[in-house]
Structure 1
């Protein structure tokens, strides 16, 4: 199992960040920029103010070639279902990711937390673990997935900072 953390800072408030994060406009532009197909399977919003929660399930399919180490395991493309449980009062979202290969032997989950750091500044913290329980290839799969998540977060951070500057600047 690999445990890892990714920390980034953004020039906005947690409330503005979450509103942007769940907006159709931001998501449409983000996933296109990352070259990932996105299909929203379920989206349920409930509660108001600090009691607001969102349950979201989406299928994500990166438009990239399957790495050689995984070609024998994946028929066409790598895709995954991402399940989000968000609570505004905690500035936190729990994420479970289920891939289209080894779903019964692969576990990846994490927590996405925002920490306010003064006026219009926050820290985004992603703490996660990735475990693939398959003899001989499990470690390679874990390494590939974590590297892919890290690469995606770097691109997402660049995109999000630009989006905030262009759309959320006060």
Structure 2
């Protein structure tokens, strides 16, 4: 399954990604709002501005109840790993999401790209995918995981938009 999600921000790409990756107060508030616990965070930064490259690995535990069949499939664990590589010059942030237990049967992730609209606003586009090679439940798992991404991105967008308004660049 595939999906595309688009959001528009009143900020520059540099400001958006600087906050997204490096503002600890923002991250703490975002994860609290999304009911996620960061179990482990690894972050590598190279360069600055238009030459910025970021490699990030997050292990996240969600405070959410899984549907019955999926709960059995994941055997009580809800920790996922997100691995991402950001490249400012290519205007791309590629993300792979590894789900517990059945990760070798699920190809899950996507890519953010962005551009500047004629209005000067930043348009961020997510093109995501989920391919679950699991007989009988694969399609349901794909729909559930992409639905979770859509809900998470809506929360992320609302929080980030409000954060940027309340904390203008200095």
- The verdict on a shared fold, with TM-score over 0.5 as the criterion, is yes
2:98–2:108 Cα contact (<8 Å) kept: yes
In the alignment, is residue 106 of structure 1 matched against residue 106 of structure 2? Answer: yes
In the alignment, is residue 46 of structure 1 matched against residue 46 of structure 2? Answer: yes
Could you tell me how far apart the structure 1 residues matched to 2:118 and 2:14 are?
13
RMSD (Å) for aligned C-alpha atoms: 1.6
Aligned counterpart, 1:95: 95
Aligned counterpart, 1:17: 16
**In structure 2, the residue corresponding to 1:72 is in which secondary structure?**
helix
* TM-score normalised by L of structure 1: 0.93
Aligned length: 169
1:66–1:77 Cα contact (<8 Å) kept: no
Q: Which runs of 5+ in 2 are unaligned?
A: none
Q: Which runs of 5+ in 1 are unaligned?
A: none
2:14–2:49 Cα contact (<8 Å) kept: no
* Deviation, structure 1 residue 118: 4.6
* Deviation, structure 1 residue 12: 0.4
Aligned counterpart, 1:5: 4
* Deviation, structure 1 residue 163: 0.4
* Deviation, structure 1 residue 27: 1.1
1:13–1:119 Cα contact (<8 Å) kept: no
1:105–1:132 Cα contact (<8 Å) kept: yes
Moved beyond 6 Å, runs of 4+: none
